[in-house]
Amino acid sequence: MNKPTIIKPNWPAPKNISAFTTTKANNLNLQLESNRLKLIDIFSLPSDPIWLKQVHSNRVIDLNKTPKNFEADASFTSKPNVICTAITADCLPILVCSKDGSEVAAIHAGWRGLSNAIIKNALNCMKSDRNNLLAWMGPAISQQYFEVGNDVREQFLAQNQQSVSAFQATKQAKWLADIYKIAVLELTRYGVLEIYGGKLCTYSDKEHFYSYRRDGKITGRIASLIWINSQN
């Protein structure tokens, strides 16, 4: 089987870090269990990816242990060949690694998670100093297509007044939200200054990405994966 098109982060990650995001190529909808199994074979992954039950929460799972509950929206590990994942279809996947390649994390950052400190919680779980972390933002819905109500905007402003710059008024009580800018504000607020990505729109690029806002509940999912390669 030909390998489907994938997106590799353009960031200065250590050589022992592997990361990529899938696309719609070859109809690889990662919402389906059968396609998740195909993914392992297609890319010769070192282990089964850890698939979270994402619920737009601010819960983070430690994959150095054996979780009993996979209901969470971020995971992290310092163990080799343990694959952290986030599946998305407009929400923002954020991959994080330390500059020395000792730990990684994957974050599913929808607006609910972002407004409830999912980024802060994930960073707090990592041992590395924040100035020794790299972050890459994968494909997500761009501001042009992400209209939200005033209630959503107010939730962000209550957490961080700087978020005002991430919202553009469209009509009464409606705003266009820049999910990338919100994430950058959160990452920098908590000390992560080397941030990459944030250029791809799931809504406008129908050829490569699924989009919940564009296609509705029937849409598929892409996956963003990151892991530490074994030195052996």
pLDDT tens sequence across 113-158: 999 999 999 999 999 999 999 999 999 999 999 999 999 999 999 9
H/E stretch holding 74 = strand 74-77
Alpha-carbon gap, residue 3 to 37, rounded angstroms:
14
Domains of the chain plus CATH, in order, are 6-141+191-228 (3.60.140.10)
Alpha-carbon gap, residue 111 to 70, rounded angstroms:
20
| pLDDT of 1 | 47
Bridge partners of 80, per DSSP, are 228
Q: What is the three-class DSSP state of 142?
A: coil
Residues of the chain under the 50 pLDDT cut = 1
| pLDDT of 148 | 96
Q: What is the three-class DSSP state of 107?
A: strand
pTM of the full predicted structure? 0.96
Count CB-CB contacts under 10 A for residue 147.
16
| pLDDT of 158 | 94
| pLDDT of 75 | 98
| pLDDT of 28 | 87
| pLDDT of 4 | 61
Count CB-CB contacts under 10 A for residue 5.
13
